[in-house]
Amino acid sequence: MIVAANFVRLLASIVCLLVVSFQTVAEPAEEVVQLSDAETLVWMTDQLRSIDHPMEIRYRFERTGTFGDGFSDSVRFIVDAVHDDGMKSAQLEFLTGDRAFDIDPVASTNVNPVLKIYLQGDVYEMNRLTDPEGKSKERWRYFQRRIKFALAETASVEDVVITFEGEDYAAKKIQFAPYVNDPKRKLFKRFADKTYTIIVAEALPGYVYSIGTVISGEPTDVFPLIKEHLQLIEIKAL
């Protein structure tokens, strides 16, 4: 059963995974709820505060592991304009070709949608992996809830320093494993030990430095079952 605090958390984090689009950070709900540090970093932060001119932010996405074919692809987040109120006009190209997500541009935003779209794609992929016959097409919603609860209750946040293009940035590393104590994990045991690592930095243009997930294989396996990683590779002015 979802307790009241968790229900309010779901309302307060409406900016998260439900819609494959991006928008502004929502105002907190009127009822005061103490969000976790991880929730605040992921959902309730002005992620584009450090951008004061149009720019293109590029990421590399890679999938490796022993389960299925690996691939690499690209992600482009483009800030077209900076408005007087600090909001941005922006668009996102997440992956290319047949893998590309259909994402509409927005005229006013203060979030980098890369994080939300990555996690949305992740729960869709978990649905596919755990239901190869396509009998439970809405199972992704269950995985989505587990990620929300992990961010609220069990995620760890660590201070780290990252270096990008010769400059150091104070950053936060967020780590969580949403299915470790999942009561339904036996239904998808092969994929249940999945871990997530997100690194963000407020002073870094675009905020998101990297996102990664790992599903380990058997204890004797040299390589993980599935490893996915999105990494910032370039920031350039337009």
Contacts 24+ apart (CB under 8 A), 94-99: 94/118, 94/121, 95/61, 99/71, 99/73
Lowest pLDDT segment from 22-26, 44-48, 52-56, 71-75: 22-26
Show me where the domains of the chain are located. Answer: 4-237
pLDDT for 44 beyond 60:
yes
CA-wise closest residue to 76 among 234, 229, 211:
234
* 101 close to 20: Cβ distance less than 8 angstroms: yes
Which two structure tokens, joined as six digits, stand for 51?
A: 């951008």
**At a CB cut-off of 8 Å and minimum separation 6, what does 67 contact?**
215, 225, 226
The H or E element that residue 169 is part of is strand 167-176
Q: Is 53 exposed, middle or buried (0-12, 13-18, 19+ CB in 10 A)?
A: exposed
**How do residues 214-226 score in pLDDT, each as one tens digit?**
999 777 677 899 9
**How do residues 96-137 score in pLDDT, each as one tens digit?**
999 999 999 999 999 999 999 999 999 999 999 999 888 888
CA angle, 195 as apex, 191 and 197 as ends, to 5°? 150
